Amino acid sequence: MSLKVIKIIAAVEDEARQAKLKVQENAQLAIEGTENAGKEAIAATLSRAETEVSHLIRITDQKATDEARLLASKTANRQATQRARAERLLETAADHIVERIVNG
């Protein structure tokens, strides 16, 4: 082979190495860009999820508070009704006891 052909082959091999390095560099930049975009998407999704969960917790807490108040009110009403009934029954029982004692 002549020296000129060897130089041409070396130049072509050098160009191929340079092209390969450039492709690898571009691929690495593309990977980094994709990773960064993915990280940003994950962060945004996580932020939205945290906001939604906080909102749902507030709603659930409010509903639980409302239900507890309603239950307490119903319980107080039932308690008053039962107490009034018990007092009437106690008066009736006391009247019967007095009547038995008097009538002997």
pLDDT per residue as tens digits for the range 34-53? 999 999 999 999 999 999 99
Which residue type is seen at 66?
D
Domain ranges of the chain: 1-104
Here the tokens at position 47 are 């932020």
Segment among 7-11, 50-54, 84-88 with least mean pLDDT: 7-11
Give the mean model confidence (pLDDT) for residues 76-104. Answer: 92
Instruction: Supply the pLDDT for residue 1.
Output: 67
* pTM greater than 0.75 (yes/no): no
Give the mean model confidence (pLDDT) for residues 57-81. Answer: 96
Of 78, 75, 79, the closest CA to residue 67 belongs to 75
Instruction: Supply the pLDDT for residue 5.
Output: 83
